[in-house]
Structures are given as structure tokens and as C-alpha cells.
Amino acid sequence: MTVRVRFAPSPTGMFHVGGARSALQNWIYAKQQGGVFVLRIEDTDAARNKPEWTEGILSALDWIGISRGSYEGPYFQSANAAEHRAAAARLYESGRAYYCDCTREDVQARTGSQYQGYDGYHRDRGLGPGPGHALRFRTPDEGATVVVDLIRGEPTFENKLIEDFVIARGDGSPVFLLANVVDDMTMGITHVIRAEEHLPNTPKQQLLWEALGVKPPIWAHVPVVVNEKRQKLSKRRDKVALEAYRDEGYLAGAMRNYLMLLGWAPSGDREIVPWSVIENEFRLDEVNLSSAFFDEKKLRAFNGEYIRALPVTEFIDACQPWLTGTGTIPPPPWQPEEFDADAFAAVAPLAQTRIAVLSEIVPNVDFLFLASPLIDEAAWTKTMKDGSAELLDDAVAAFEALESWDAESLKSTLEAVGAERGLKLGKTQAPVRVAVTGRTVGLPLFESLEVLGRERTLTRIRAARLRLV
């Protein structure tokens, strides 16, 4: 038997990081088993579906390494509508489903509770198809449905506790529960790997598989992804869009590595490992049962490690979208002609050790490419105290006299300026840094001044001095 897994997102919004984890888990499992990864776009929610969301899914999968052409599909659920209806008809004709025209209010009136499930009122009343008549599955009265799950063992659900659930609406359109089962059957899916939030629906789906005469797939329900409050990650509340992390400057390798640690860990006391190790070691039966905490701070630290591990040339290339404003990245505060590739290459090794996401490159190097620095007013107020004007005067005089404009000479010169005033280097260089870069923190100051050059450095210090008059 060829293993066939599927990833079936809906094109109704940005690509959720939890969905990305599921895609990777399915992808790896298929590769390990010599099987097939199927991409199915579940696009039957016409009111919310948008073509751009579908393209967003494809591009997000590309980014995390599941490239187009390497999987089967994408298929579209809407194209299988005839099969969905045919399956509903077979279930009705075989007596495994029946029509019902009860409203929620009808059920509540009969049971006396708004929390009571459907009471089977129309099970044996012989109601036929018609407008407003929903089709319900006839759940067995006795026995239990056992779900064979690679992660959770064999969860067992008593059939008497499963209500006769709707499989087709009053207008005849099949509900998602049935469409999902029929699609999996049509595509020959052998293993369904998905989040545990789908587990309550699994016995219903398994009953449908059996009623349609097809052996159910093997299930694997991975732990749900939660936030720091242990709440399920929500698009309305949490930062969950994979595209947002990509556009902020997270590396695909770091994101893949981190997502695979949500509920699983490689061997040994390690977390940051080559992708080949994850592909070899990942096992569904080793996935934890407890909820997986998506820790953005930890992801950020991961990303910083991945950035620092890049060869400098690759780091320079990776920064280009933020430096040039290409694609979906917001444009930098300088014009394209102001960007100096050689100057950036000179400071790139310094910047690489200081940023955690690639978008942070802009505020670290913008002073190099602007006619004048973007002054952080809070930094200015904090730094430019009494005596700063005279210190800047002395710094200009000392720098003007330098024969060699290099980091070491600049450092020793400014150190001497501060010593005459009884100041340590940290206090001495703070006003100079703000005058030249606009900020109190950033790349090493003297290496920055060396790249910026004598003329531009002196011009900026003089401008700051005039502002202090």
C-alpha cells in the first residue's frame, strides 16, 4: 500500500502557523514512507474564499520548503461537488441516512433544553427529500466507534452518545463533514494527520467511511498549538500568519525547525538541528499528547541563531529585500540610489551578530544611506546633557586632526577626549553616537564611523552641536 497523506487548508485568510506545522508533519511522514503528499484546497465557503488566499497558501508552502511540483495537486474541493451529492444519495438510499425538517427551536421545545442534541424525531417517520429537509446520518444505537490513532492509541466513542448528525443541508448541499470524507476516499488518502481539535468529529467521519463501504484511514491527531495563556492560537487574538513572520524577516529554516518542535523533539539535548536530522528522526508515535506552546520569544531566539550561522555573503543576500524595498517588504527610508552596497558589505558582519530578524537591519544601518540621521528624540533628550556641546566640539577638533581614519584610531582619540573630562568611554561616545546615527544603540560606533567616512561624520557632529546652541 502506498501511503497517501493530505493537507487540506481553506483559502479564507492568511496561512496559520498551526497549519504550517501540520503540512510539515504530513510532508515528512510521506517522505519517510515513500508515499505521496496531496494538497487539497477546501474552497466550498464561497462567501469567504478569495483567489489571493489560495496563492498565499501555495507561496507559504513554497517558503517553508514544500515546493510546487513536488506534491500532488492542488485539488479543489468545489470540483468534487457531484461526488459529495452522490455519496449523500447513496447513504439515503441504503437507509443509513434520513430526512428531517426540525429546526433548533423544535428540538429545544421537545427536549426542554437548549443544550440537548438532536433527539432522532424523524428517524422512522419516512420524511422524503424537499426544500428545508436536511439529511441526517443514522448513527448506530449500540456499540462503539474505535478510532485507531498513531498518537492517541485507540480513543473509543460510544455510539449512543453521537447524535444523528446532518450530512446535507436543507438546500441539498453536503456539509463539510461529508465532503471531507468523500474527498479523502476519492483521493485514496490512507493517513490523516491533523490537529487534535478535529478529534471529536473523527468518530462521525469514521462512521461515514464505514457506511460508504470503504476502510477508514489511519488517524493521527497532533496536539493543538496554544499561546502563552494556554489558549488555542486565534487569528483574531494572536500573531499566527506565517506570511507575517516571513515578511518580518524570519528565515524559513528557523521557522521549519521551530514548528517541528511543537509537540516533538529530536534525540539528545538539542533543539536547533539540521533539517535532515528532523526528516530522519521525526516519528508520529513520539509526538506528545499535551498542548504545544507557540513561544514567539523562543522563535525569535531561534531565528537569531540561524541568522548568525549564515555565511556573510548569504546574510547580505538575505537582507536585500529590506534594503531595496522589493516584494511585500515596506520600502526603506532611503532612495535606491542612496544605497551603497560596499558600505553595507563592510558593516554586514557587525550587523549579523546583532539582529534577530532580518527587518531589523534597516534601523541598524539606515544612518549609512541617509543624508542626515533619523534622530530618536527620546535618545537625544536622554543623551544630550550639560557639557555635551563642549564634548562634541572637542570630538570634532580631535577627529579633524586624525591622520588615519580607522576604527582603532577613532576609538583611542575619543577615549582621550573623554579622559580629559574625567569620563569613561561609554559616557563619551554616547553623544557622538546619537549625533551620527540618531540612536543610543546600534552597530559598534567606531567601525561605523570608519565606514561612514570623515566628511560625513564631522558634518553630523557639527549639525548636532548647532542644535545644542
Q: Dihedral, CA atoms, 169, 173, 175, 178, nearest 10 degrees? A: 120
Measured CA to CA, the distance from residue 364 to residue 347 in angstroms comes to: 10
Residues 6 or more apart in contact with residue 438 via CB below 8 angstroms: 367, 373, 374, 375, 376, 379
Measured CA to CA, the distance from residue 176 to residue 166 in angstroms comes to: 10
- The active-site residue, picked from 235, 239, 298, 382, is 235
Contact of 22 with 54, CB cutoff 8 Å: no
DSSP state of 73: E
Cell of 398: 580631535
Please give the single-letter amino acid code of residue 297: K
Radius of gyration over every alpha carbon of the chain, rounded to an integer in angstroms: 31
Measured CA to CA, the distance from residue 37 to residue 210 in angstroms comes to: 24
Which among 274, 152, 311, 159 is positioned nearest to 223, based on CA atoms? 152
Contact of 289 with 152, CB cutoff 8 Å: yes
DSSP 3-state helix, strand, coil percentages of the chain (rounded to 5)? Answer: 50, 10, 40
What is the separation of C-alpha 15 from the centre of its chain, rounded to a whole number of angstroms? 7
Measured CA to CA, the distance from residue 18 to residue 258 in angstroms comes to: 12
Cell of 206: 469514521
Rounded to 5°, the CA angle 78-83-85 comes to 90
Measured CA to CA, the distance from residue 216 to residue 71 in angstroms comes to: 23
Which among 208, 174, 8, 166 is positioned nearest to 81, based on CA atoms? 174
Catalytic residue check, 232: no
Contact of 118 with 107, CB cutoff 8 Å: yes
Sign of the CA dihedral 98, 104, 107, 110?
negative
Backbone angles phi, psi at 5, to 5 degrees: -115, 165
Cell of 79: 470540483
Cell of 41: 484546497
Q: Which residues are catalytic?
A: 235
